[in-house]
Structure formats: C-alpha cells, structure tokens
Chain A
Amino acid sequence: MEKFSVLTGVTAPMPMVNVDTDMIMPKQFLKTIKRTGLGISVFYDMRYDETEAERPEFILNQDAYRNSKILIAGRNFGCGSSREHAPWGLLDFGFRCMIAPSFADIFYNNCFKNGILCITLSEEQVEALTAQADGSDFTVDLEKMEITAPDGSVTPFDLDPTRRHNMLNGLDDIALTLERLDKIKAFEAKQQAEQPWLYT
C-alpha cells in the first residue's frame, strides 16, 4: 500500500446522500479478476449516457474536476454492497481521499485497505468545504490531521491511531498479523480443546 502523508489536489463536490456502491461501480464491472483499470467505469451510469458518451453536467466530466484527488460527498457515502471494486475504481481514477459526514462501515474499511483516506466531518463542516470546491487545490495533511481549504481556513479531523499509523507508513496488514502467528495458533489450540466440534 502506498504511504499517505500530505495530499494536495482538486476536490470534487458530490453533495448527494446515500451514494451506494452500485452507483460507484455498477455490477457489470464486477466481473473483472483484476484490481486495476476500473477508473474509467467509476460512477458509470451518472457519468455516461446510453451511448457511452459523457454527460457534460456530471462533475467529473467538467474540465476543472477531471484530475480530482479528493471527493467531498453527502452522508452515508458508500452504502450497500461490500464490493471492493468501488474503492479500486475511485483509486484508479485518482482519488486518495474521501470527505463526508458519514460513511458506510464496509466501504470505509475497504478504502483504508487501499490507501484511500476517509475523513468524517460534521454536516456543517462538509457544507462549508463543499462551497469552496471550485476546482482549486485543497491540502489534506495526515501528519497534522487537518484540511486546508483554498481560502486558507484549516479544518482539523480525527482518525483512529492504528489506521493513521498504517496509512502514514503504508503498512501491509497481513504482514503485521502474521507477526502474531503464535498467538493465532495458541488461540486455535485452546478453542479446539473447548469446542472440538469446530475442528472436524
């Protein structure tokens, strides 16, 4: 996983509530056996019409936002399915950071596994930042845990220490867990003694 420390880039506003993972990555793109190449399909139905032509009114089709790195969204972003194809598509498009009043649990977790930082702020804070998302650069600093908007205003944010540490250092979760392999084996031995029916 790529390290995340300071990110500067265009922020695309998408002030819709309950954007689900079917909207982010429709089912026909779930048939891939690769993680890459999904950026072109992200938000497919909103982004392209029936002839696969771009819909000019969609935010990511507007020149100022084509290179967005940060998405600022409405509450309950990423609800629905567990498909990791949604964060893979967002990452492949170029997004490294999502800001919203709330995220769905599975999506939130999936983003961090792929080096996408999800920041939860109040509705008011999100609204204030959305108003500034005119194509100018925002800066997200994970070291300092703050967002600097184009007007220079600074918004602090919170994140649990483990996620922050793993993001800052680009750590591989599986390698970390395998360091505890002895504990896993000890757990299995104890569980097998107590609930032998789980080991048949």
Chain B
Amino acid sequence: MTQPRTLYDKLWDSHAVHQDDDGATLIYIDLHLTHEVTTPQAYEGLRMSNRRMHRTDKTIAVPDHNVPSTPDRLEKIDDPESRLQLETLKQNSKDFGVEYIPMDDIRQGIVHIIGPEQGLTQPGKTIVCGDSHTATHGAFGALAFGIGTSDVEHTLATQTLSMQKSKNMLVRVDGKLPLGTTSKDLILAIIGRIGTAGGTGHVIEYQGEAFTDLSMEGRMTVCNMTIEGGARAGLVAPDEKTFEYLKGKPRSPKSTAWEAAVEFWKTLKTDDGAKFDKEVIINADEIIPHVTWGTSPEDVLPITGVVPNPDNFDDPNKKASISRSLEYMGLEADTALDGISVDKVFIGSCTNGRIEDLRAAAAVVEGRKVADTVQMLVVPGSGLVKHQAEEEGLNEIFLAAGADWREPSCSMCLGMNPDILQPGERCASTSNRNFEGRQGRGGRTHLLSPEMAAAAAVTGHLTDVRKVVSP
C-alpha cells in the first residue's frame, strides 16, 4: 500500500524525470507560456551557447506587459524600448519556431488569461512562465509557477527544470462566503492571515466549500495571488466545473482523447489521510469585503476597519514598516478606510480581467455615474474577453457611466505601458500588488475586488460595495 499523497505530491511524482541523491529533481514541463519581458535574454543565452530548443510544440508566445491599452496601439508604441522588446519577442518566436499570437489577433491578451481561455491550461500539467502570476493556472489542478529568465532558458533548452520539492501547505476555508464577498476578498483575507511570507517554501492547496463553490474564474483569482502569500504555486483539485470550463475550448482534448483525459483528471486529488506540513483553517462566514491600506498585500483589512496605528504594535520591524507605508500612502493612522477618496479606478489585470470580473463591475456601475473626481479605466484581459463583453453590452454600461473602455493589456497593473499613476495619485485597483511605485512612481494603490473598485468609482472613495448595491 502506497502512502497517501497530496495533489502536489502526485503532480510532482508524475513529472520527475530524474532525482539526485540530495533530492534535486529534474521536472518535466508540459506548457511554457512566454511574453516579451522575461524572454529576450533567454533566447540570447541560447544563441550565445549555440543551443536549440529541445522542442517547440509546448511553448506559446504572446505580447502583453508593454502593450498599450489605447485603440491606436497597433500603429503607435511611443516608447522605443517597449517597441524593441515587443519586436524581439516576435522575432525570437519566428527564429526558434514558437507559436506566436500577434497583437492584432483577437486571442491576444494577458498570458495568464489566454492559457485557460485557449484550453492550453489543463489539469495535471506542469506550467511555467517568466512571471510570478503563473500561479493562476493552479486553479485547474495544474502545477504552475513563475520562473526567472535563466529558468526560461533552461526550459527552452531542455523542457525541464531542476528543482527541490516544496513542502505541502493546506488552506481550508469552511462554509459559504457571505453575499457580497468575492474570491478577491477571500484571497486578500488569506494573505492578511498568513502574511506575504506565510507560504514561502510551500505549495498551497486550497480546499473547502468556499473554493469548490467558486467559478473557475474565481478560483483563478485566488490562485493568481498565491504568490502574494509567498507560495510559488496554489492548487485547487479539478472537478466537474473544471471539466465543464475546458470542454470545447480550442486546445482542449477532443472526442475520445477528451474522455480519457477527464478520466485521468478525476484522479487528481489529495488522498484521504495525506499529510500537509502546514495547515490554515478559516471560516468563510467571517470574511467581508477587504481592501489594502499599505504597500504590501498583507497590509489588508475589512473595509469596515481603520488604518492601523504604529503605536499599537510592539515589534519594532512592524512599527517601522507601518510608519513607512503610511507615509508613502499619505494616510493618517486611525482613519476609517471607508471614505478615503481615490483619483483613479483600474479594473483589469491577470487577477481580475476576465469576463465575470467585468460583469460584476458593470452590475455596480449600471445606471450610475463615475464620480467627477475619478478616472475609471476598464481593461479586458484578452481580445476574446473584450469581444464577449461587447456582445453583452458591458462596454455600453461602462461608457455611459463615464469610464474608459480599453484594449487588452496588462495596463495599469505594473506601469510598463503608458497607463501609469502620477506621483501622489491614489488608485482603487483590482490588480495584485500594492508595492511602492508599482503603478507609477509615488502612486498609491489600494487592492480590492472589481465590485469594490466599481463602488469606489461611483462614490469617489473607498467604500463598502454592500452599501452601494444590496448583495
């Protein structure tokens, strides 16, 4: 009788090509997603050492980080460095024979949106990308994690990575989320609980009704931000919702292969009695809408809370980091979060740029106006998301409210394209990081759900969405 194994154990074991005595293991990679920012030096490395790709059929390329979100983006990329980086991806993909989705293709979008959308993301796969939000794909029960450029090069050359196994961590959320609480609130609350290093050295498996109740899109939001809790990968075991989502997607298995795949995918779950090295158990009914107040994703509180006061903390490190955050954020201790005015609202990113996110934000905005003091940017995560939203008339709702309706891009999540905050500007953002300078030097980011961001847009300040629309 074999030992009971976790889902992570199973994914690891089934991809181990070779293991050294000290545990260093060569892991086979089933899907390699590439974009323009973290690949140029990897291809340069291959060229310098006269190496070829081991194979090209498990890699796909799409431009996203530098792509402007404005309608003239195809003709006009002002920044020469951005343009060169985008051209370099196109050229390298061509030279090495990698499938490339161009900017004018309806399938173009943020790399973590298009993997699932195309059916490339599947349960049981190992998936890597030179981007830490690769964790997103764990929502399908795939082992998916971000890598640096040296490992991008290693994957291109060998279709494997040399790794040490991580530990197993369980985050179980029992019960049902209250009405008005979203997947974003759920993951923010988890990060608030475990801290940004809580998952370091671990792969997190999310279990419990709160996760199984979520749609695939909601699970992607949760897994996406796993890295903000320090873990490289997050997992949700695949179930009927997963199979339903993937059925008929362009790159999903077809006909008899589909039946065989689903049969295999059903085995991808943690065995009864499997051991986790670390367990965190939370009750879903305690979680209400959340928002960040500081410069780390762990600086997060329920919207009913107040900005922390450094005087209330004993740990000198914590005291210093709160003081530094408050100074950067331009906030006074003990201020109520509900009521802090914002200048910009950003809806989009690999965390919340999918169709359900846009529907949720539109439902709050519908029949209302964006406050005069606020600019609201709505940026679909892919061309297909944009198309679907327009079919449903969501663009009309946003435009009627006075919001900007943009083209697919990473946009204001990280300011590598023209969408950036000016120094001192405050933004309610559905993205994933509130680090200093992340959205533009001196920019102040508050992370929240699409519903909460929309509520901030129409009221002009951070507020509890449940006061704007009844859940």
Contacts and interface: CB of A to CB of B under 8 A. Distances in A.
Interface of A: 16-18, 20, 22-23, 26-28, 30-35, 45, 50, 74-76, 79-84, 87, 102-106, 109-110, 113-114, 160-162, 172-174, 176-178, 180-181, 183-184, 187-188, 191, 195-200
B200 A180 contact: no
Contact of A162 (B22, B66, B150, B200): B22
B437 interface: yes
Interface stretch (B38-46, B94-102, B107-115, B458-466): B38-46
Given A31-B79, A183-B17, A184-B54, A160 B441 contact: no
Contact of A184 (B158, B196, B264, B298): B158
A18 B321 contact: yes
Given A174-B154, A183-B18, A102 B200 contact: yes
A104 B41 contact: no
Given A20-B435, A82-B132, 16 more contacts: A18-B197, A18-B321, A31-B37, A32-B81, A33-B40, A50-B423, A82-B131, A102-B197, A102-B200, A110-B148, A110-B149, A174-B154, A177-B162, A195-B124, A195-B264, A198-B125
B26 A23 contact: no
7 contacts: A80-B227, A80-B433, A84-B130, A102-B197, A174-B154, A177-B157, A180-B18
A73 B150 CA distance: 24
B17 A82 contact: no
B154 A200 contact: no
A33 B85 contact: yes
Interface of B: 17-18, 20, 22-24, 26, 28, 30, 37-38, 40-41, 44, 49, 51, 54, 57, 65-66, 79, 81-82, 84-85, 88, 124-125, 130-132, 145-151, 153-154, 157-160, 162, 164, 166, 196-197, 200-201, 227, 230-232, 253, 257-258, 260-261, 264, 296, 298, 317, 320-321, 324, 414-416, 423, 433, 435-438, 441
Contacts of A113: 148, 150-151
Contacts of B131: 81-82
Given A84-B38, A106-B146, A174-B51, A198 B26 contact: no
Contact of A161 (B22, B84, B88, B200): B22
Nearest to B325: A18
A187 B28 contact: yes
B162 A173 contact: yes
Contacts of B148: 82-84, 87, 106, 109-110, 113
A76 B197 contact: yes
Contacts of B22: 160-162
A87 B132 CA distance: 15
A76 B41 contact: no
A55 B41 CA distance: 31
A173 B45 CA distance: 12
A17 B435 contact: no
Task: Please indicate which of the listed interface residues B57, B148, B230, B324 has the most CB atoms of chain A within 10 Å of its own CB.
Answer: B148
B17 A184 contact: yes
B227 to A, nearest CB: 8
Contacts of B49: 172, 174
B153 A31 contact: no
Contacts of A82: 38, 130-132, 146-148
A99 B28 CA distance: 31
B158 A178 contact: yes
Contacts of A87: 148
B197 A31 contact: no
Contacts of A30: 37, 65, 416
B26 A180 contact: yes
Query: Which 9 pairs across A and B sit closest by C-beta, in order of nearness?
Result: A113-B150, A33-B40, A110-B148, A197-B253, A84-B148, A31-B81, A82-B146, A76-B197, A84-B149
Contacts of B57: 199
A111 B244 CA distance: 41
A198 B30 contact: yes
A27 B414 contact: yes
Contacts of B257: 196-197, 200
B24 A162 contact: yes
A75 B38 CA distance: 26
A187 B17 contact: yes
Given A184-B28, A184-B54, A106 B232 contact: yes
B168 to A, nearest CB: 15
A74 B125 CA distance: 35
B160 A184 contact: yes
A25 B82 CA distance: 17
